[in-house]
Structure 1
Amino acid sequence: MSDTHQQLIAKLAEELGSATAEHLVSRLAEAVAAPNQVEGVLLLLDELAEISQKVACAAIESFPDLQQRGRLSEAVAWLDLGIALAESSGAMGLKYFKESPLVLGLIEPPSIRSLVLKTALELAERDANVTLEFLRVSPEVVTVISPDELGAWLEIGLELTQVDFVVALEYVRQIPAVARVLPLHDARAWATFGLKLISQNSFGKTDYFGTVEFLRTSPLILGDHEDPSVRAKVITVGSLLAERDPGSGIAWLSESPRLLRAVPNEGWRLRILQYGALVAERDADTALAYLRRAPELAGVIGESAEATARFDAWFTAGMEVLAYSVEGARAYFALESQKALTSVEAALSGVPLRQVARTVKLFVQGLCGTDLTIEALLDSLSQENSARATVSQDGRTISLPALLRRYPTTEENTRLYLVMAAHEAGHVEFGTYRLTLESLGDLVVVVRQRYGRVKQAAPETLAALFRLYPHPGLIQDLWMLVEDARVEFLLQREYPGLQRDLQQFAREAVTTRSLTHGLTVKELVVDQLLQLSTAASQSVAIHEAIKGEIAILWPMCQTILAPTATAEEAVRVAHALYVRLEELLAPKGAMILADQTDDTSEELGVGPSASEQTGEDYRPVTNWVYRGAMNPEFIRQHDLPRVSIRDGLRVEDGR
C-alpha cells in the first residue's frame, strides 16, 4: 500500500476509525479512474482543513454516505465544490457536505452527475447561495431541462440576485416546475412578470411577497392552459397589466384558466389575448373588463368567419370608446353601457331579453292581472344552454335567460320567451309557493316513520322533507314533474290561447329526446312519465320493460290534471308515486339499457338537470326548456307573507 493511501487512511481514521478508513480508501482506489485521484482527495482534504477544520471533519464524516450511495468516483469533484463553498461560508460548506451525498445519489447517469458538479463549481465562483439551492433541486432539474440549456436557466437566477437573494433562490427552487410548462425563451418574460409585482409595504419598505408567491404558484396556474402558445400570451398580458397595477396582473393570472376554458379553440384564445395586450397597454382596469367578458362572448357566438367579424366589430367599438374615455371603455367592456349591450346583441344574433322584455311584461300582466318584474338571469350569456327561468320567492320577479336563439327566427324565440314567462307566472297564480309544510304534517310523520328518520329534526322546508327520502333527487324530480304538469294543465284551461304553443314546445321536446344512453329502471320510469306529462294528445312509445309499471303509475299522475288540484295534492301525489315506484321496482334494481337508435340528434328540447341532489343509484332526468327551475326551499314552515293572485289582485296571506 502506497504512502498516499496510508496518509489518507490516517486522516480518515481520525473521524471514522481505522477499519472504516481502510475500507473507504480501498473502495476509493477501486472507484476512481486514475491512481492520482486518491492523492487528489488527500490534497483537497488538507486544503479544506486549512479553510475550516470543522468543515473538513464534516466532509470526512460524509464519506461513508458517499460510498454507500456508490458515488466515490465523484469524490474529487465533490470535494473541489465543497472547498469553493466553504471559502464563501463555513456554514455553507457544512450544509453542502451534509446534503450532497443524498443529492448525488439521486442523479443518473454519471455523465449528468459530472455536469451538475461542473456547473455548480462554475456557479459557486459567482454566488454560493444560488449554487447550494441549485444542488438541492438538481435531481429534478436534470430530468426536465436539457444539458445545453441548464446554464441559461441558471443565468436568470444569477441576474435576480441583483434584485433580491430571496427572489433569486425562490426562482431556482421553481425551475423544475416552470420548465415543465414554459420553454427557455419564455422563462425570462415569466421572471420579469414576477418582478413587476414588487411593491412597497405600509412601512415604506420594499415588499417581495407578491413576487415570491408568483414564482411559487404561477407554474401550476400556467399548467392549466393546455396550449404552450397560450401560456406565453397569458404571461405577456399579465406582465403588461402588472406594469400598471400589480393587483390586476395577479387577478388576471389567477382567473385566466377559468376564463379561457370557455373559449372554443386555441385560435380564438390567441385572438382574445392578442387584443387583450393592446388594451392592457392603455389601461389595466379596462383590460381586465375586456378579458373577463371576451371569453364569454366568444364562447357563445360560435367559430364561423361571421362570428370572427362580429367579435372584431365589438372589440373595435370598445377601442374607439377607449380613445375618448377610459371610464367609458371600462363600462363598455363590462357590458354596463347601452352601446356595449347593443354590440353584444348584434354579435350573438339571437333574441335578447332586453328587446322583448316590455312585451313579455305586458303579456304576463295581461295574463295574471298584476305587475311582475322581468329581469335577466345572472351569467346566463355564459350558460346559454343551461339557463332556466325562475320566479322569486315573493312572486314579484320572473328571471329569464338574457338571450334566446334556440330557434332560427325571432318570432319563434319570442314565443318561447312568452311561454317561459307564462309558466313561471302560472306557479305564482296557481299557488306553487303558497303551500306551507303545516298542511303536510301528516305526510311528514309518515315519511319519518317509513324511512327511520324519527330521531332527526323535523324538516323546515320542502327540500328538507325530500332529504328524508332515500333518494332525494328522485322525489324532487317526481314533485317537479307533477307540479309542472298541474300548472301547465291549469294554464291551458284558463288561457286557451297558450295551448297551441305549450303543446308545440312539448311535442318538439319529445321528438328530439334521445334514449341512447343507459338508464336505471327508476330513471327510465321517471323519464317516460315526464314525456307522458308533456305529450298532450300525442302518443308516447313506452319501453317494453316497464309497460306494466307505467300502466299503474301514469293514472296516478293524471289525478293532478284537474281544475281543483292544488300544490299540496301535487306533493302528496309525488309521495304516492315514490312509494309505489319503490314497491314495483324492488325486484328490478339492475341497470336497463335503453333501446339503441341511429338518431344522433342533440336533445334540443331539453335543459339541465331537474334536480341536483341524487341518490347513489339515481341520476336526475332532464327537464324541458320552457319549464323553469323550481325551488323546494321556498316552501317552508314559517315564511314571509305569502303572495298570490286572486281576481287579478295581488294578495298577501294574513293581510
Structure 2
Amino acid sequence: MNDEKRTGITGSLLKGVTRKSVEALARSFGIQPNDRAWVTMDVGASLAGVSIKVATEFFRVVPEVAQHLENEDLRQWAEVGRRIALDNAEEANQFFHTSAQTLASVPVHLRTQLIALCGKQIVLSPSTALSTFYTAPKTIEKLGESEATDKLFNIAVAVANRSVKHSTEVLAAAPNAIAALTQLEANFAYQNPTIIKQALELAENFANRTGATAAEFLSALGEGLSFIKTSGEARLLYEQTSSFLERGGATALQYFRAAKSVMEQSDAASFEKWNFVTKRVAEEGNALVYDFLKLTPKVMSALSANQRRIIGAKQRTPEHSLAVIKSVLEMTEELADNSVYVALECFKSAPRALAAASLEQFQAWARAGAGLHRQDRRRAQAYYALESKSSQESLRAARGGLALESISHLLRLYVEGLTGRELAIAPLGAVPDESRITDGQTIHLPAMIAEFGSLEDDFRLYKVLAAHAAGQIEFGTRDVGSSPLRAALQDVDEFFSSQDESQSRMVDSEEVEIPEDYIPRKRLRPTLVEEHFDAADFKLVLSRFPNPGLATRIFTTLENGRIDYRLRKSYRGIRRDLNFVRARLIDNRPPVTSLPVDQLLYELLFQITLCGGVIDPVARKAYGEIIGEFHRIIEQCIYHEESSVADTLVATKRVYALLQSPRNEENTEAETDDKEQADEKNESDDSQESSGDQQQQAVEKQQSQTNPFNQWTEETDDTLPDETEMLSEMLQAERPEQDLQEGDQAFFYDEWDRELGDYRAKWCRVIQRENRRGMRDFVEQVRARYSGVISSIKHQFQMLRPESLRKIKGELDGEEFDLQAVIDRHVDLRTTGRPTDRVYIRRIRRERDVAVSFLLDMSSSTARTITRHPNQPYTRPGQKIIDIEKQGLVLMSEALEAVGDAYSISGFTSEGRRNVKYFIVKQFGERYTPEVERRIGGITYHNNTRLGAAIRHCAAQLEKQSARTKLLIILSDGRPYDHDYGDSRYAREDTKMALRQAKTQGMTPFCITIDRDSEAELKDLYGEVGYTIIDDIMSLPERLPGIYRRLTT
C-alpha cells in the first residue's frame, strides 16, 4: 500500500481532520507491514463510526502499540477500545493514550493473556476491563514473573468465561495466595518443591468447574497456611479438596475451609476422625454435607475457645485444647457409625455442652445418650441437640453443683434483707439477654453453679451474684430521665458533635481521603429533643457514641465496677464474700502480656475495675501510662459513695476517647514492639493463641448463662449475638427470630413433643408487648348497642358481691344464741336424749376471691365474617369474629368491674416457635381506664395459633395472683396451628399438656370456641379441663358473662 493510498483511506475515515494531520497519521503507520496496516485500517474504520476523536488517537498510537502486540492481539486491543468508546469516548481516548506505556510494563508472555482477559470483561463491564488493564503492571509486580503468574492469568481468563466480576477477584486475591504458598513451599522445599504448582492446579480445576469459587479458593489460600506442618498434610488437603469437586465447587470450597480449621486447631489423628465423619455425612447427600462443612469452622473455634472455661485462663495449653477437640470428634465418629444425624447433633451441640460442663462431664453426658438411637433416632437427635429436658437434666446431673431451685427462697430472703425490697429470683435460661433485669423486680441467676466443688463456696458465689444483681436495681443502673442522666446525655452528645464538626472540616478541606461509602455521623444520629431527655437512660446515651458497641463494652465493665464499689461501701458484711469472688476472678484472668493489642486494653480496664488493680507486675511496668489514666478516670468518676449510672457514662466517654486517641494507639504499638520481636521465633504457635478472641465470641452467649463470673462481664448491647446454626434449621424451614421492639419482653417456655415423650427445653420464645391503641369509639359503640344487656349483667354480677357480714347459724361458738337452735335442743333433750351443742350464731366477713385471665385468639382465622343474614350482605352485613370477641370482652369488663374480681385481658398470635406474640390489653391491678378501652379497640387479627406457648405464659402471669379461685378462659375459633408445628397431633398434645400443667398449678382452664365441625377433636383437646361450643357466635357477647358466672359460683 503506497503513501497516497494510505492517506486517501485515512482521510476518508477521519472526515473533518486537517489534511496535514491525516498525512502525518498515515505516515506513522506506513512503516508497518501490509497485513498489519490492513488490520489497522479495518479497526480504524469501525472506531471512526463511533468517534472521530477516538479514531484519531487510535491511528496516532497504533504504531507504538503494535510493537508490543501480534495482529490478533492488536485487533482484540482495538476492540476493547471501541467498546469503551461506545460507552464513554473520553475513557476510550485515555485508554488508547496510555496503552503503549501500560503494555510495555507487562512481560511479553503475559500480554496476550491480559488482552484476552480484558476482551472477555469488556463485553459485560467496561469499567472492570479498564481496571484490570490499568492495574495489571502492579499486580504482576506483586506476583513476580514466574510460571505461577502465567497460571493465575490463565485462571482469570477461564473464570471470565463464567463471571466477569469473579475474574477480577482472582487477580485481587492472587498476591496474598502466592505469598502464603511461597512461604509454605520454602518451609518444605526439601520435601516437596511443587506446593505452589499443586495449589494452582487445584485453583484451575475450580475455575474450570464453577468459575466463581476459584477466586474464593485463592482468598482462602491467602488467609494463611502456616498451620500445615508437613508437605504430606498439604498434599492431603489438596487431594481431599479435589475429590469434593465432583460434588460441586461450593461444596469443595466449604470442605477446604472446614479442613483448614480442623488442621489448624487439632492434630493429624483428629483430622482423620473428622474426615471420616465428613465422608459419612456426604453419603447422605450434598445438602447435608455442605451444611456440615459450613458449620465445622464455627464448632472448631467454639471448642478451642471453651478451653478457657474448662481449665482456667492461666493453665490453658494447646494440649488441653487438643484433648477437647479430640474427645468431641471421637464421640462424633462413634455415633456416625449408627446415625449420621445423631452424630451431627452431638458435634453441633458440643460447644454449648462444654460451656456448661467440664470435659469429663461432657463425656458422661454423651455416653448417657449413646443408646437412644437404638430406641428412637428422633429422641436421640433431640437429646444431643440439648433440646429435650431429659438431656439438659442429664448434663446438669453430670456436672453436679448447687442448683438455684434449691436455694432460691434463701436468696430471695437474703436480697430482701440486704436491700429492703421484694425481688423475684429466676434462672438465666428462662429469659434472653435483652430481658434481664428490665422491670426492676426480678434477678436472673445461673440455674446451676459448680465452680468450687463445695456447696458452701458455691452458695457464697450465689450470694455475691444476687447482691450484685440487686445492686444494679438499688443503685440505679436502669434509671430513666434523672437530672444526672439528662446532663450526661447532653455532655456526650456535645462532645461527639464537636468531633463530627472537626471531621467535617477535614473532609471539606480535603485533608483526608474520603471513602466511597462515607456518611457524616450527624446524619446517623437524630437531633436531641425534649422527649429524648425525658427518656434518657444508659442505652440512649450509649447510642450517641460513634461506635455504640465499643462504648457498651467499656460501660459494662465500668458499671459493674461501680456496683461492686457501692456494695462494699453500703453493706460491709458482704465484703468477705466479695473478696472471695474477686480472688476467683483474679485466678481466671489471662496473662496480659500474652494478649493481642486489641484485647489488651480491655483486660487492663477490667483488672483495674474489678480485680483491684493490674495483676501482672510486668504489665504494670510496660503499660504504666495507660494504667495511670484508667485509674484517674475511675477514681474521679466512679469511686465515691454517691456515684450514679450517669457518672459511669461520663467515665465511659473519657475511656472511649482515650482508647480512640492516635497517641494511645502509637504508644500501645511501641510498647508491644519488644514483645513481638522476642516472640518471633514462636510466631506459628502464637498465631493460634491470637485467635482466642474470635473463638471466645463464638460461645460468649452460652458461657454468659453458665459461667457465673461472666455475669459481671457480659455486654448489655441490645443486639442479640448470632447463635451457631442448628441442624434442625438445615432439615426444616423455620421462621427466624424477629427483632424485639422497644418495651418488648421475651420469655422462653418448654414445649411438649409427644413422639419424644419429653419436653423440648426453652423451645418457644414468647414476646410480650402492650397491644396497640385503637379507637375508643369501639367500646362506646358496644356500650350503646348493648346498654340494656350491660345494665342487666351489672345487676346480676352485683348480686354476686358478698355481704359485708354474714350470719352463720348452728356454730359451736359465737356472738349470740340462735333461738331456733336453742328450742330444737330442748326438744331433742326431752325426746331423744341426744341434744346438739350447735346453738350459736357467728358473724363472719366473707370475701369473693377470684382472679381470671382472658386469653384471646388473634389469629388470621378470626378475620372471617359471620352473619345471620347471608342473603342480605349489603343491607344487613355481618361482623368479623374478632370484633364479636371484642364485644364480649367489653361486656365482661363491665360485669367484672361490677363484681370486683381481679382480671386481665391478653391476646396472642404466632409466626413460628421463636415469634409467639402475647399482647397485653389489661393487666392485673390495672384500672379499667380509657387507655384500656383504646387497647380493646386496637385488637385485630394477625397470623397463627401456637396455643400451648400462649397458655403457658398466661398461666405464669395468673399464678402470681394470690386469689383462691383462678380462672384461665380461652376464646378461640378453632384448633392450634403454626408453621413449624408439624402434624396436628403434635399441636393438640402440646396444648393438652399446657392445660394439664395449668390445672395442676391450681387454675381452672376453660375454652370457649365456635368450631362445631371438629367437636370430636375439641373434646380430645379440652375434655380434661372443660369447654363449651357456641353455635351462634353472634350471641357470644350476651352468653360470655353467664358462662363466667357459672364458673365462679
TM-score (norm 2): 0.38
Matched, 1:112 2:112: no
Matched, 1:185 2:185: no
Q: Residue 167 of structure 1: SS of its match in structure 2?
A: coil
Distance 1:297 1:93, change over 3 A: closer
Q: Which residue of 2 aligns with 1:208?
A: none
Question: Aligned partners of 1:468 and 1:545: how far apart in 2?
Answer: 28
Q: 1:308 aligns with which of 299, 303, 322?
A: 322
Bigger Rg over Cα: 2
CA displacement at 1:5 relative to structure 2: 4.3
Question: Aligned partners of 1:225 and 1:551: how far apart in 2?
Answer: 41
Matched, 1:45 2:37: yes
Give the alignment of 1:382-421 within 5 angstroms: 393=438, 395=442, 397-399=444-446, 411=453, 419-421=460-462
2:445 partner amino acid = I
Q: 2:535 aligns with which of 457, 460, 467?
A: 460
Q: Residue 644 of structure 2: SS of its match in structure 1?
A: helix
Q: 1:321 aligns with which of 323, 335, 343?
A: 335
Q: Which residue of 1 aligns with 2:563?
A: 483
Question: Aligned partners of 2:207 and 2:333: how far apart in 1?
Answer: 28
1:146 partner amino acid = E
CA deviation vs aligned residue, 1:573-608 (integer Å, no higher than 9, x gap): x759979x99xxxxxx9x9999x9xxx9xxxxxxx9
CA displacement at 1:333 relative to structure 2: 1.0
Distance 1:464 1:391, change over 3 A: closer
Distance 1:97 1:26, change over 3 A: farther
CA deviation vs aligned residue, 1:515-562 (integer Å, no higher than 9, x gap): xx9xxxxx9999878677999xxxxxx99999x9999979x9575xxx
Give the alignment of 1:435-474 within 5 angstroms: 441=482, 455=530, 457-460=532-535, 462-464=537-539
CA contact (8 A) 1:427 1:487 kept: yes
1:18 partner amino acid = R
Give the alignment of 1:132-171 within 5 angstroms: 137=132, 140=136, 142-143=140-141, 144=143, 146=145, 148-149=147-148, 152-153=151-152, 166-167=161-162
Q: 1:493 aligns with which of 573, 587, 604?
A: 573
CA contact (8 A) 2:559 2:648 kept: no
* Larger RCO of the pair (alpha carbons < 8 Å, separation 6+): 1
Distance 1:216 1:417, change over 3 A: farther
Question: Aligned partners of 2:8 and 2:448: how far apart in 1?
Answer: 87
Q: Residue 402 of structure 2: SS of its match in structure 1?
A: helix
CA deviation vs aligned residue, 1:317-365 (integer Å, no higher than 9, x gap): 322221221111111211269998999714999xx98754641426743
Q: 1:65 aligns with which of 44, 57, 68?
A: 57
Question: Aligned partners of 2:467 and 2:275: how far apart in 1?
Answer: 49
Q: Which residue of 1 aligns with 2:24?
A: 23
Question: Aligned partners of 2:322 and 2:63: how far apart in 1?
Answer: 61
CA displacement at 1:102 relative to structure 2: 5.4
Q: 1:295 aligns with which of 289, 294, 301?
A: 301
2:644 partner amino acid = V
CA contact (8 A) 1:190 1:235 kept: no
**Unpaired segments ≥5 residues, structure 1:** 30-37, 197-210, 379-387, 405-409, 518-522, 536-541, 560-568, 583-588, 601-607, 609-622, 643-650
1:332 partner amino acid = C
CA deviation vs aligned residue, 1:296-324 (integer Å, no higher than 9, x gap): 22345455456535533432332222122
Question: Aligned partners of 1:477 and 1:305: how far apart in 2?
Answer: 32
Give the alignment of 1:228-627 within 5 angstroms: 244=247, 260=261, 266=264, 268=266, 276-283=274-281, 284=289, 285-301=291-307, 304-305=318-319, 307-308=321-322, 310-335=324-349, 345-346=359-360, 355-356=398-399, 358-361=401-404, 364-365=407-408, 367-368=410-411, 372-373=426-427, 375=429, 393=438, 395=442, 397-399=444-446, 411=453, 419-428=460-469, 432=473, 441=482, 455=530, 457-460=532-535, 462-464=537-539, 479-487=559-567, 493=573, 498=577, 501-502=580-581, 504-505=583-584, 559=641, 571=644, 575=647, 627=712
Distance 1:251 1:570, change over 3 A: farther
Q: Residue 324 of structure 1: SS of its match in structure 2?
A: coil
Distance 1:355 1:27, change over 3 A: same
Q: Residue 458 of structure 1: SS of its match in structure 2?
A: helix
Question: Aligned partners of 1:454 and 1:470: how far apart in 2?
Answer: 17
Q: Which residue of 1 aligns with 2:898?
A: none
Question: Aligned partners of 1:442 and 1:299: how far apart in 2?
Answer: 43
CA contact (8 A) 2:429 2:447 kept: yes
Give the alignment of 1:640-651 within 5 angstroms: none
CA contact (8 A) 1:423 1:627 kept: no
Distance 1:416 1:246, change over 3 A: farther
RMSD: 6.9
TM-score (norm 1): 0.55
CA contact (8 A) 1:107 1:113 kept: no
The share of aligned pairs that are identical, in percent, is: 9
2:563 partner amino acid = E
CA deviation vs aligned residue, 1:21-63 (integer Å, no higher than 9, x gap): 433355557xxxxxxxx251x34334676x8894496799767
CA displacement at 1:460 relative to structure 2: 3.2
Distance 1:416 1:150, change over 3 A: same
Distance 1:416 1:194, change over 3 A: farther
Question: Aligned partners of 1:571 and 1:393: how far apart in 2?
Answer: 17
Question: Aligned partners of 2:80 and 2:649: how far apart in 1?
Answer: 76
Question: Aligned partners of 2:59 and 2:239: how far apart in 1?
Answer: 48
Of 358-367 and 313-322, the range deviating more from structure 2: 358-367
CA contact (8 A) 2:607 2:613 kept: no
Q: Residue 426 of structure 1: SS of its match in structure 2?
A: helix
CA deviation vs aligned residue, 1:82-110 (integer Å, no higher than 9, x gap): 46x69xxx978954999674573353547
Question: Aligned partners of 1:44 and 1:315: how far apart in 2?
Answer: 66
CA contact (8 A) 2:585 2:709 kept: yes
Question: Aligned partners of 1:549 and 1:111: how far apart in 2?
Answer: 59
CA contact (8 A) 2:169 2:215 kept: yes
Question: Aligned partners of 1:313 and 1:510: how far apart in 2?
Answer: 26
Q: Residue 314 of structure 1: SS of its match in structure 2?
A: helix
Distance 1:575 1:425, change over 3 A: same
Question: Aligned partners of 1:437 and 1:256: how far apart in 2?
Answer: 43
CA contact (8 A) 2:481 2:534 kept: no
CA contact (8 A) 1:479 1:571 kept: no
